Amino acid sequence: MKTPDVPNTSLIDILKEEPEFKADPNIKPETSDFQEPVQTEQPITTEPPKTEPNPTDFEPPQAQPNPLFEPPQRKVKPRLSEKEYEESAEMTIMLFDGTQTLILPYLYQKSIFTREETRKLKELNERYKKPEVDLSEEDQKLLAKYHDYKELSDNVPFTEQEIELLKNPLAKVYSKYNIHVGPELLLLGAVTTVIVPRLLPLFSRLERL
């Protein structure tokens, strides 16, 4: 009796060999619940955001206002009534009229008469106090100049019609610019009326120095 031929391999070599599995054609493969889904790699594209340029981005930064250095706000003066503006205008005209009545006759005198003629007028005034006055031709010319000076001086003060003519336009100007004229102007007018007559003789004396 013959013994089968046994290959000359040891048991250890057989265990090292991996077993071969043959798939059964009658068994369909099943997907496992733990099988990871197959992901298809897609290319990643990064596009810059579409934004339109803002012109203010290129302007220099503006300094923020500092409340410590802000100028104080001016207080708005309340408006007056139209009658009060007219009264202020009349007050201003009267002040101007009083000033010119004091100053202009003095200026007329200095522009019309010389110092010698002024001295002769004083002498002629003394002669008129006598009952009989004999006037020379030179005296008559001097009196004619004096009458011209007197007429100019008498026409210096404003008439009532002139005051009304000036008052309405001046009142509209005061109303437009909201100008307030208070009692300070009256005080200035009173001071001018009192002081100016005392100062005018001083100017004539200064000319003799």
Distances (CA, A) of 30 to 22, 100, 202: 16, 125, 134
**Residue-level pLDDT at 111:** 92
d(CA 171, CA 175): 6
Say if residues 111 and 89 touch (Cβ distance below 8 Å).
Answer: no
pTM: 0.57
Q: What averages of pLDDT result for each successive group of 10 residues across the chain (209 residues)? A: 54 59 56 53 60 65 63 76 91 90 90 92 82 82 92 94 95 93 80 80 63
Q: Which residues contact 158 (CB under 8 A, 6 or more apart)?
A: 93, 97, 166
d(CA 100, CA 196): 11
**Long-range contacts of residues 4-9, Cβ cutoff 8 Å, at least 24 apart:** none
Say if residues 179 and 173 touch (Cβ distance below 8 Å).
Answer: yes
